[in-house]
Amino acid sequence: MQFRIEMHVPEVVIPWRMPRKRLTREESREQTRLRLLDAAAVVIAKKGLAATSVEDMAGHAGYTRGAFYSNFKSKTDLFIELLKRDHVDIQESLQQLLDTDLSGEDLQRQLALFYSQCYGDNTSYVLWAEARLHAVRDAKFRQRLNALCLEKRDVIAYFITQFCKRMDMPLPASAADLALAMMGLIDGVKYFNLSMPAELPDSAAESILSTIFSATFFGSRA
Amino acid sequence: MQFRIEMHVPEVVIPWRMPRKRLTREESREQTRLRLLDAAAVVIAKKGLAATSVEDMAGHAGYTRGAFYSNFKSKTDLFIELLKRDHVDIQESLQQLLDTDLSGEDLQRQLALFYSQCYGDNTSYVLWAEARLHAVRDAKFRQRLNALCLEKRDVIAYFITQFCKRMDMPLPASAADLALAMMGLIDGVKYFNLSMPAELPDSAAESILSTIFSATFFGSRA
DNA sequence: GAATTCTAATACAGTTGTGTATCTGAATGC
DNA sequence: GCATTCAGATACACAACTGTATTAGAATTC
């Protein structure tokens, strides 16, 4: 009991979406699923995957365990679903960002955006941190997570390639490896930014990332 | 009546610490403590902090829960002890490395060493990843962990400062922030190196770190 | 060598969680 | 409007952990 942190997760009051429309079974079921996922994301981020019981998640979504088990095979099952959902979101906003801004040479701004966009909120960061840790231990899970990470890497690698081409600069290393390193860097910095905002406030985080990013791709010119 | 030495130490007699000497109470107790810590590190790395029961840890060390509770207040207590121990090790080897190699300008090799030294083994990496995650959720724990991280940062920052001075280069950013970023980068890269060794083998990890490190401090010259 | 002190084992009471099996009421279909 | 179906609630059987209280026996003291 020493170990369970009483975080007091407030009951999520879900704004009922106008029962004007009477939901079909399918719609209703889908709604339940979504609510369970949303609530689970919040609770897991707050207490951690292992410390979160099925009842916790269901409860915060306004349901009981019955509803949970009728929608998901297990806690892990839901967790993977959650990551997939988040991954799609990240991919989309990343893609969108990279598509939009590829032309500009304003690297600083680009990076800053990139950084803040990369994880919409802290919940998302924590979720992925949890996932990485889980992946270290579970080979099957690791494979699935790696697949997602590599997708993300490829988007970034493609961007890096295009960017360097456009700027008429040589790639300082393999685009794939650079992408991984940048992902790692961003995650790493994000953690410090999150855990010691006094030591590394948003501005400093963006600035240092910007410095390293510039140096890596522009050499000493920026 | 025959007397059996160390009758209470069950089947697992851990061979590596002077098995012959008759221990005083204090020594014996310290030995138990160390065994519990060592075993805990392994088990926690394998199954995760939350999923590891007190009995697990004690059992792997060859004791029962009684021994555990007579040596540690709680699982968290032990965990912090574990981190401190590891932190001291890291600090020492870091200090040593930096002291030794400060003169050379062979940055590549330096970095490679730095990287491989930074976490002696994977157990250590996992432990810190676990700690970071836990810190996000628990303010008190976060403070304690931050203190350790900042100590580490300062050692690295000092090195960076000295290094730039010696190389007669300007600091590309605040040494403290650079140090944090490098720590983040190394952790981030380490994860990919660990979870997808086929995509990012040791050599690639070292190489990409080296590239970024060089670029950051030397600009385009390296 | 008896009394004590201390480490660690053991027993126990209480809590929390899991997954399944069964039940209920609302949505659908005939 | 009656029967069916299915989402989700409830009940249950059981497994795991925690932390404390008690106990055994080795180490130390006198």
Does A99 or B171 have the greater pLDDT score?
B171
What pLDDT sits at residue B10? 39
- For chain A, the average pLDDT equals 85
Question: Is B41:B127 a contact under the CB 8 Å cutoff?
Answer: yes
Q: Which residues contact B178 (CB under 8 A, 6 or more apart)?
A: A208, A211, B157, B160, B171, B172, B216
Between A133, A142, A207, which is nearest B133 by CB? A133
In-domain check, residue B18? no
The C-alpha atoms of residue B142 and residue A5 are separated, in whole angstroms, by 13
Residue of B nearest to A175 (CA): B208
The CA–C1' separation of A14 and C30, in angstroms, is 37
In-domain check, residue B4? no
**Which secondary structure element, helix H or strand E, spans residue B163, and what is its range?**
helix B139-167
pLDDT higher than 80, residue A2:
no
What pLDDT sits at residue A14? 41
Using an 8 Å CB-CB cutoff, list chain A residues near B73.
2
- The reply to whether A166 and A144 lie within a common domain is yes
- The reply to whether A151 and A176 lie within a common domain is yes
- The reply to whether B197 and B182 lie within a common domain is yes
Task: Please tell me what DSSP assigns to residue A220.
Answer: G
End-to-end Cα, chain A, rounded Å: 53
Cβ of residue B18 lies below 7 Å from strand D: no
The C-alpha atoms of residue A97 and residue A155 are separated, in whole angstroms, by 11
In-domain check, residue B151? yes
- The least confident of A52-66, A114-128, A136-150 is A114-128
CA neighbor of A167 nearest in space, from A109, A103, A211: A103
CA distance B97 to chain A (A): 23
Cβ of residue B5 lies below 7 Å from strand D: yes
Does A24 or B166 have the greater pLDDT score?
B166
pLDDT confidence band for A23 (50 / 70 / 90): low
Q: Which long-range contacts (CB under 8 A, 24 or more apart) does A11-18 make?
A: A11/A59, A11/A60, A11/A62, A12/A38, A12/A39, A12/A42, A12/A60, A12/A61, A12/A62, A14/A61, A14/A62
Q: Under an 8 A CB cutoff, do A219 and B216 touch?
A: no
- The reply to whether A83 and A22 lie within a common domain is no
Task: Please tell me what DSSP assigns to residue A74.
Answer: -
% of chain A with per-residue pLDDT over 70: 84
Between B138, B177, B178, which is nearest A5 by CB? B138
Express each pLDDT in B35-78 by its tens digit. Answer: 999 999 999 999 999 999 999 999 999 999 999 999 999 999 99
Using an 8 Å CB-CB cutoff, list chain B residues near A192.
149, 180, 183-184
Chain A / chain B CB contacts < 8 angstroms: 178
Nearest residue (Cα to C1') for D28?
B25
What pLDDT sits at residue B5? 31
Structure-block tokens of residue B206: 């070292």
Domain holding B41: CATH number?
1.10.10
Domain holding A44: CATH number?
1.10.10.60
- The reply to whether A86 and A55 lie within a common domain is no
pLDDT confidence band for B113 (50 / 70 / 90): confident
CA distance B195 to chain A (A): 6
Between B133, B187, B219, which is nearest A48 by CB? B133
pLDDT higher than 80, residue B120:
no
- The reply to whether B45 and B98 lie within a common domain is no
Question: Among A37, A72, A107, which residue terminates a domain?
Answer: A72
Domain holding A198: CATH number?
1.10.357.10
pLDDT higher than 70, residue A10:
no
The CA–C1' separation of B81 and D23, in angstroms, is 30
Q: How far is CA A105 from CA A143, A163, B8, in A?
A: 36, 9, 71
What pLDDT sits at residue A40? 96
- The reply to whether A113 and A197 lie within a common domain is yes
What pLDDT sits at residue A155? 93
Count of structural domains within chain A: 2
Looking at residues B109-118, what average pLDDT do you find? 74
pLDDT higher than 90, residue B15:
no
Question: Among A54, A72, A90, which residue terminates a domain?
Answer: A72
In-domain check, residue B122? yes
- The least confident of A92-101, A182-191, B126-135, B145-154 is A92-101
Q: Under an 8 A CB cutoff, do A186 and B186 touch?
A: no
Does A21 or B212 have the greater pLDDT score?
B212
The C-alpha atoms of residue B1 and residue A139 are separated, in whole angstroms, by 53
Cβ of residue B57 lies below 7 Å from strand C: no
- The reply to whether A54 and A85 lie within a common domain is no
Q: Tell which of B137, B183, B209 to mutate to test the A interface (max A CBs under 10 Å).
A: B137
Question: Among A23, A42, A72, which residue terminates a domain?
Answer: A72
Q: Which nucleotides of D are covered by protein (CB under 7 A)?
A: 6-11, 16-22, 25-28
Express each pLDDT in B163-213 by its tens digit. Answer: 899 888 999 999 999 999 999 999 999 999 999 999 999 999 999 999 999
- The reply to whether B146 and B52 lie within a common domain is no
Cβ of residue B66 lies below 7 Å from strand C: yes
Between A145, A173, A189, which is nearest B207 by CB? A173
Q: Under an 8 A CB cutoff, do A135 and B215 touch?
A: no
Domain span including residue B189: 75-221
Question: Is A182:A152 a contact under the CB 8 Å cutoff?
Answer: no
Q: Which nucleotides of C are covered by protein (CB under 7 A)?
A: 6-11, 16-22, 27-28
- The reply to whether A52 and A98 lie within a common domain is no
- The reply to whether B207 and B139 lie within a common domain is yes
- The reply to whether A156 and A171 lie within a common domain is yes
